[in-house]
Amino acid sequence: MHAAVTALLGRRVRLGLVGGGGASLIGPVHRVAARFDDCFETVAGVLSSKPERALAEAQALGLPRGYADMATMIAEEAKRPDGIDAVAIMTPNDSHQLYAEMALAAGLDVICDKPLTNDLESALGLVETARSRGLVFCLTHNYSGYPMVREARSAVAENELGPLRVATVSYVQGSLGTRVEDKPEAMLERTRWRLDPARGGLSHVMGDIGTHAHQLLSFVTGRKVEAVLADVGAAMPDRVTHDTASVILRLEGGVRGVLFATKAATGAENAMSLEVYGEAGGLHWAQASANELRVMRNARPAEIRTRGLPTLHEYSRRAARIPPGHPEAFFEAFANIYSDFALLVAARRAGKPADPFAALAPTAADGADGLAFIEACLDSTASGTWAKVRQF
The residue within the footprint of a second copy, chosen from 29, 127, 216, 372 (CB under 8 A), is 29
- Contact between 273 and a second copy (CB under 8 A)? no
Kindly determine how many residues on this chain lie close enough to bind a second copy according to the rule CB under 8 A: 99
Strand partners, 274: 169, 285
Question: Shortest approach of a second copy to residue 322 CB, angstroms?
Answer: 7
Question: What is the rounded CA–CA span in Å between residue 91 and residue 102?
Answer: 14
The residue within the footprint of a second copy, chosen from 50, 133, 199, 321 (CB under 8 A), is 321
Question: What is the rounded CA–CA span in Å between residue 292 and residue 306?
Answer: 5
Question: What is the rounded CA–CA span in Å between residue 384 and residue 387?
Answer: 9
The residue within the footprint of a second copy, chosen from 17, 112, 290, 371 (CB under 8 A), is 290
Our measurement of the distance from residue 297's CA atom to the centroid of its chain's CA atoms, rounded to an integer in Å, reads: 30
The answer to whether the beta carbons of residues 236 and 384 sit under 8 Å apart is no
The residue within the footprint of a second copy, chosen from 262, 316, 336, 363 (CB under 8 A), is 262
Map the footprint of a second copy across residues 38-57, applying CB under 8 A. Answer: 38
Residues contacting residue 234 through CB under 8 Å, at least 6 positions apart: 240, 241, 242, 243, 244, 264
- Contact between 342 and a second copy (CB under 8 A)? no
**Rg of the chain over all Cα atoms, to the nearest angstrom:** 21
- Contact between 131 and a second copy (CB under 8 A)? no
Question: What is the rounded CA–CA span in Å between residue 47 and residue 45?
Answer: 6
- Contact between 240 and a second copy (CB under 8 A)? no
Question: Shortest approach of a second copy to residue 42 CB, angstroms?
Answer: 9
Residue 127 or 223: the one with the smaller Cβ distance to a second copy is 223
Question: What is the rounded CA–CA span in Å between residue 3 and residue 1?
Answer: 5
- Tell me which stretch binds a second copy (CB under 8 A): 45-53, 193-201, 214-222, 223-231: 223-231
- Contact between 386 and a second copy (CB under 8 A)? yes
Question: Shortest approach of a second copy to residue 31 CB, angstroms?
Answer: 7
User: Burial, 157: exposed, middle or buried (Cβ in 10 Å; 0-12, 13-18, 19+)?
Assistant: middle
Residue 157 or 268: the one with the smaller Cβ distance to a second copy is 268
User: Burial, 379: exposed, middle or buried (Cβ in 10 Å; 0-12, 13-18, 19+)?
Assistant: middle
Question: Shortest approach of a second copy to residue 114 CB, angstroms?
Answer: 15
- Contact between 225 and a second copy (CB under 8 A)? no
- Contact between 65 and a second copy (CB under 8 A)? no
- Contact between 257 and a second copy (CB under 8 A)? yes
Give the phi and the psi of residue 268 in degrees, each rounded to 5: -75, 145
The residue within the footprint of a second copy, chosen from 68, 76, 226, 330 (CB under 8 A), is 330
The residue within the footprint of a second copy, chosen from 128, 189, 231, 314 (CB under 8 A), is 231
- Contact between 300 and a second copy (CB under 8 A)? yes
- Contact between 161 and a second copy (CB under 8 A)? yes
Question: What is the rounded CA–CA span in Å between residue 345 and residue 343?
Answer: 5
The residue within the footprint of a second copy, chosen from 268, 350, 379, 388 (CB under 8 A), is 268
Question: Shortest approach of a second copy to residue 368 CB, angstroms?
Answer: 26
- Contact between 25 and a second copy (CB under 8 A)? yes
User: Residue 112 carries which side chain, given as an amino acid letter?
Assistant: C
The residue within the footprint of a second copy, chosen from 71, 105, 302, 359 (CB under 8 A), is 302
User: Residue 155 carries which side chain, given as an amino acid letter?
Assistant: A
CB atoms within 10 A of CB 234: 17
CA neighbor of 108 nearest in space, from 65, 151, 77: 77
